[in-house]
Each structure stands twice: as C-alpha cells, then as structure tokens.
Amino acid sequence: MKIVVTGSLAFDYIMDFPGYFKDFMLSDKAHIISVSFLVDSMRKLRGGVAGNIAYNLALLGERPLIVGAAGHDFGAYREWLEEQGVDTSGITIIEHEFTSSCFINTDQANNQIVAFYAGAMGHDHHNSLLNRGLTANDLVLISPTNPDAMRRFALECQQMGVPYIFDPGKQTPRLDADLLTVGIQGARVLISNDYEFGMMAKCLGISEGELIAKAPITVVTRGVEGSQIYVDGQLAAQIPVAPVAEVRDPTGAGDAYLAGIAFGLARGLPLEITGRIAALCAAYAIEERGCQEHRFTLDQFAVRYRAAFGHDLPLDGISLREAA
C-alpha cells in the first residue's frame, strides 16, 4: 500500500520572551498598539502537518509520499526528509515564495503571540493526485492546507476510488459547510479533536452524533482523556493515552497520532492496536520540543508499548525501521 500525505509544509520559529506580555499592554491605547519584545532565544524547527505526519510514518517503517508545496528555502528540509525515508518527489517548489512560516513568541505565563505566513502553501491547490498511479489499495491523508487544495484532493480521491483520511484540523474554522461535506462524504476515516468536531457539527447544522456516523470510521481525540474510535457511528474502541515521562511540547502530538492511525490502517491491524500505536507515537512527540525531534527504534517502541498497555505489540508483518 502506498501512503500519500497531503497538507502544509512549514518552518516554526519558536521564541521565548522572559517577561509577561500584559506588562507592556496599555488598555487605553489598544487602538494604536505599537510594541516590540526582545526575546531570549529563537529556534527554527521543521514543521507543517504533512512534514510531521510523514516523519512519524517513516519512523514506523513506511516510505510515505508527500504531495504539497514549499518555497525556495526548502532545500535542507527536503534533504532531511529524504534521509528519514520520506519520498519528497511530490513536493512542488515555488521559487518566488518562502516556505510557510509560523512565528511563535511565548511569554512566562505561556501566553502566545503568533503570526503565520502561508507563503508557498497558497499554491498547493495547483497540485494533483491524478496520474500518480494510485489505486483502491492505497491510502491518502488529506490534512490542513489551502482549502481549495483540500477540496481538490478529496474530489480526486473520490474520482479514482482511493480511500482517504479526512483531517480538517486547524483549518476547521476556515472550511465552509460545502467543503466539509465534500471531504466527509467520501472519507474512509474522519479524524479531529473533540473541539473541532463541535465546530464541524455546528457548521453543518447537525449533532456531533450525526457527524460521527457520517464516515465508516471516525476518530475523536480528547486530550488527556484519550481517544475514541467509532465504526458506523458506534463506539468500537476506547483508547487510553500512553504515559508521558515529561510534557515538553504538545505541538505535533496530533500529527504523530494521525501517523499511527494511518500506519495501523495500512497494515490492517485491529482498531484497538491501531489506536494504541497512535497514542504512543503522540507520547514520543510530546516529550521533545519540536515536531520532528523524537526518535525510536523497533525495540524501544515495542518495550514501551508493552509497559504502557500491558500486552505485546503484534509485530508479525510489522517492520519498524531502525533509527539512524
């Protein structure tokens, strides 16, 4: 089975402000805000939903194909992905644009001021899944990117009869009822967190229960409460979280979780096992700052899986690629 990952590719610029934003905000001057923050540190990290998902799939032994758009500054990131085992041949380089960039400034109270520049992502709708040799035996992940691209990829999968996972994610507030309907109606799997499910149901004018029943398989993540997997609207598996040694950065945990779901579905594993693999992938991501800084080997993953869930990971037919 070929796994194709669509979605954003981005650089995350993480900055730490040693004070509190509130100390520099004047309520009576809110209409003319002009303030500068001198930060203590800045890190440039690889990110974007597609990049994060593909990285985790590569750790799980897959060679996913990314279909997306990046800018002229993407060279080193592309080399990194190839080194990890990701097929980047589907990434279009927009020479006159920068790769999407997210600038995150966090103060001592964990308040954040964020600026996101879409850059090359704005051209993602020119990409296509057609003529890539995809069949009903393959799997596509449709993750947050340019809404027009998400619509195009969903319609193309429906046209070709290719199963896909629909993950509206953080683009949910931007998606209208028509696009949500298009994405959901042909999805093999619908996945989002519980807050996003609430937003989707409200946009569509239906109950969350009705929304959950619209896809053959629906996955709802609920943070520290774990996740739930439904089949034809009925609860099929209650998935606990995997224990985490230290919560260092939750960013990217959802992408790691989604990679685990895709891996389990691609390998035909039971949903209870698939969900637990996903939960453990998320735990690894949470324990490191950055979305692609964690690593694991087959032995490490299997040992930790047993410790977390009390039974062995069924490894027959599963070959996790050893970390370099």
Catalytic residues: 255
Distance CA 229, CA 231 (A): 7
Amino acid identity at 307 = A
Q: Which two tokens stand for residue 247?
A: 């919560």
Would you call 159 helix, strand, or coil by DSSP?
helix
H or E segment and range at residue 227: strand 227-231
By C-alpha distance, which of 41, 39, 99 is closest to 66? 99
Q: What is the largest CA-CA distance in the chain?
A: 65
- In the chain, the DSSP E strands lie at 3-6, 10-16, 41-47, 65-71, 87-94, 100-106, 112-117, 139-142, 164-166, 189-193, 217-221, 227-231, 234-239
For residues 98 and 75, what is the distance between their CA atoms, to the nearest angstrom?
A: 11
